[in-house]
Amino acid sequence: MGKLPVPVETYPIVAIIGGAVVGAGWYLARLAQGPEVVWDRKNNDIKQGQTRQVVAQPPLSGAVLPDTSLYHSLNPYFPYNREITEKSRNHSSSPTLTMFSKRIINSAANGCKRSLTSKAIPASYYRNQQASSTDGFIGAIGNTPLIRLNKLSEETDAEILGKAEFMNPGGSVKDRAALGLVLDAEEKGLLKAGGTVVEGTAGNTGIGLAHVCRARGYKCVIYMPNTQSAEKIDLLRMLGAEVHPVPAVAFDNPQNYNHQAKRHADSIPNAVWTNQFDNPDGNRAIHIHTTGPELWLQTNGTIDAFTCSTGTGGTFAGVTNYLKSMNSDIGCYIADPPGSVLASYVQTNGEKMDRDGGSITEGIGQGRITENMTVDVKKADGAFTVPDSDSIAMLYRLLDEEGIYLGASSALNVAAAYKLAKDLGRNEDGTKRKIVTILCDGAYRYQSRLFSRKWLESKGLVDAIPQHLQKYIILE
């Protein structure tokens, strides 16, 4: 045996020095990873600390939430299907969302050369992150972020918050409706394995349905007015749907796209016309079960007002129904594009349905009271028309000031929230009002129109865009 490099008597000293070196190395590595974060429930914020559990705040004690077992079975993160008691509100039996700790994320980056330190990442990034995968496409629908629109909030006496529905996996708020319509048809036994879903849709519901149908093994057939953007029609076909663009005629004409969709479904076996306009069980209900509770949770029940426009009315009706059931003082306001009858209907207590002009917005505006709306339109605290000039100006402002690229119905919704902020002012106790709206989809599906000088000129809208924002009109 060769001679040992150090004498045996020094082994304990070598061991101590070795241990100290390893310990110091571990400590330095941990420092480099940044602190762990903890959910500070009281201040609704994340602070440095020791814990990694996030407890989502359920609605106020005593509230009975809708039975969401069907949705829950598909979306393991869906946290609302329980009766809220004081105990579950305050203790860990509340639904929990596990978030990534900075350490987990950093350890994933170990070995990579990275210039960004964990300290540069805002704490809000770690909030409400779910530490596992979703159950396919359907599990990824909903649970969208609620974005504070900073500039508009600073400029007014309100916190203006937009629900980022453009972040749904199919790109719009209508993914929710598509899911609700299909689940309802399945639950009622109208749709069996390998069946066909037929719908009349201006686009986004069709896109949502095309995705949901592929994910669940159904065929999808879409009828739509031929006035809709080419981008939407192309996308539907790429998603495997059979698309029938038909002349845009009024609802009372038998050739209206909805009636054509119904006739198609009636003519083939194992097919369902999902009837998004007059299907409160599928369309309105999904917003009662998902969008409404999410908004309540995300604001800890502190919403003062909600506003959005309506197409089928599913979003407005479902959210209004849920919010009013939680707190009847929440003001719910319909925002109408020109040419839609709802503003006149609400303003005259249902006596008139006047319509005047038309709008550049797509997917919204209505000439009648749909069945989705019949119950909840009576709960509206008011309604008003937002001119296209306000919507297009807001669309360009949101892009420039917030970096958010939105379609015209979302811009109209934010213009409505902004108007409400100015009209309503602060709460009686002097606090800022919290006004929530829906960011329905992104501008991607409409960019050839919304950013084209020629198209904007043809609509007389170039001058509505402030001079300093006209640099974004980059298409001819």
Ligand X SMILES: Cc1ncc(COP(=O)(O)O)c(C=O)c1O
Comparing every residue's Cβ against ligand X, the nearest one is: 363
| Residue span binding ligand X (CB under 6 A) among the ranges 110-118, 141-149, 219-227, 310-318 | 310-318
- Cα–Cα distance for residue pair 289/187, rounded to 1 Å: 15
Cα 101 from Cα 160, distance rounded (Å) = 29
Positions annotated as catalytic residues are: 174
Q: Which residues pair with 7 in a beta bridge?
A: none
Query: Please, which residue, 44 or 226, has the CB nearer to ligand X?
Result: 226
196 φ/ψ angles, rounded to the nearest 5 degrees: -125, 135
Pairing of strands 271-273, 196-200: parallel
313 contributes a contact to ligand X by CB under 6 A: yes
Phi, psi of 222 (to 5 degrees): -120, 130
Q: What is the DSSP letter of 119?
A: G
Which residue has 């829950």 as its token pair? 72
Calculate ∠ Cα 250-342-393, nearest 5°: 95
Amino acid at position 322, single letter: Y
Least Cβ distance, residue 76 to ligand X (angstroms): 26
Neighbours of 37 (CB within 10 A): 25
Sketch the per residue contact string, 261 through 300, with ligand X: x for CB under 6 A, - otherwise. Answer: ----------------------------------------
What is the C-alpha to C-alpha distance for residues 305 and 318, in angstroms, rounded to an integer?
Answer: 15
Q: Which is nearer to ligand X, 33 or 315 (CB)?
A: 315
* Nearest to ligand X of 102, 174 (CB atom): 174
* Nearer residue to ligand X within complex by CB, 308 or 330: 308
Q: Tell me: does residue 174 bind ligand X (CB under 6 A).
A: yes
Residue appearing with tokens 């749909």: 370
Choices 201-209, 255-263, 352-360, 461-469 (CB under 6 A): range interacting with ligand X: 201-209
Site string for ligand X, 361-400 (x = CB under 6 A): --xx------------------------------------
- For 201-214, letters b (16+ CB in 10 Å) and e give bbbbbbbbbbbbbe
Q: Are 386 and 410 in contact (CB under 8 A)?
A: no
- Residue from 141, 202, 295, 380 binding ligand X (CB under 6 A): 202
Q: Which of 34, 337 has the CB closer to ligand X?
A: 337
In 83-164, which residue ranges form alpha helices assigned H by DSSP?
86-90, 102-109, 136-139, 150-155
Residue 87 CB, shortest distance to ligand X, in Å, is: 36
Is residue 143 near ligand X by the rule CB under 6 A? Answer: no
Instruction: Kindly tell me which residue out of 417, 441, 455, 461 binds ligand X, with binding defined by CB under 6 A.
Output: 441
DSSP letter for each residue of 412-463: HHHHHHHHHHHHH-S-TTSPPEEEEEEE-BBGGGGHHHHTBHHHHHHTT-GG
- Does 312 participate in binding ligand X (rule CB under 6 A)? yes
Nearer to ligand X, 75 or 309 (CB): 309
- The contact mask relative to ligand X for 327-366 (x = CB under 6 A, - = no) is ------------------------------------xx--
Least distance (Å) between residue 363 CB and ligand X:
2
Say how many residues make up the chain.
476
* Segment interacting with ligand X (CB under 6 A) among 190-198, 213-221, 309-317, 457-465: 309-317
Stretch that binds ligand X, among 307-315, 343-351, 377-385, 449-457 (CB under 6 A): 307-315
Q: Residue 390 in contact with residue 396, Cβ under 8 Å?
A: no
Q: Does 58 bind ligand X (CB under 6 A)?
A: no
Rounded to a whole number of angstroms, the minimum distance from the CB of residue 134 to ligand X is 23
Q: Which residues contact 316 (CB under 8 A, 6 or more apart)?
A: 308, 309, 310, 332, 334, 373, 376, 380
Is the Cβ–Cβ distance between 223 and 244 less than 8 Å?
yes
Nearer of residues 58 and 170 to ligand X, judged by Cβ: 170
Which lies closer to ligand X via its Cβ, residue 63 or residue 319? 319
- Smallest distance from ligand X to CB 205, Å: 5
Interaction residues for ligand X, span 77-96 (CB under 6 A): none
Contact residues for ligand X, defined by CB under 6 A: 172-174, 202, 204-205, 310-316, 363-364, 407, 409, 440-441
